[in-house]
Amino acid sequence: QVQLVESGGGLVQSGDSLRLSCVVSGHHISGYSMGWFRQAPGQEREFVAALHWSNGRTYYTDSVKGRFTISRDNAKNTGFLQMSTLKPDDTAVYYCATKRGGIVSDLSNHQSYDYWGQGTQVTVSS
């Protein structure tokens, strides 16, 4: 049984940093692409960042480039999303997701992911 568990969310002030973690069990992350998505109330789920399983490259939505960093620790079977210079617009529930393999052009498509965590709330006050 595959399980993804996010943690690290919380209430912070504008300009602060947070690091989200995503502990994966049931499959090893080395053969899977990982993505982070977020969903604010009343809005659709939005792509935030992804890490390709094979080339190791990272991809970001424009609004977080230069502020967020996605990474993974294969030994711990854990993914991370380091978020810096947080803004109120970053407020959302953040989800991690994995999919076996994956092509670069599909990394931002949430429907292409196989497994999801339960989400962790990030709230940024102004």
**Does residue 114 have a pLDDT over 90?**
yes
Distance (Å, whole) CA 75 – CA 77: 6
For residue 92, give the nearest of 43, 20, 51 by alpha carbon: 43
List CB contacts of 5: < 8 A, sequence separation 6 or more. 22, 23, 25, 117, 118
What's the order of all strands across the beta sheet hosting 78-83?
3-7, 18-25, 78-83, 68-73
Distance (Å, whole) CA 87 – CA 2: 32
**pLDDT at residue 55 in the model:** 85
pLDDT in tens, 64-113: 999 999 999 999 999 999 999 999 999 999 999 999 988 888 999 999 99
Distance (Å, whole) CA 111 – CA 98: 11
pLDDT in tens, 11-33: 999 999 999 999 999 999 988 99
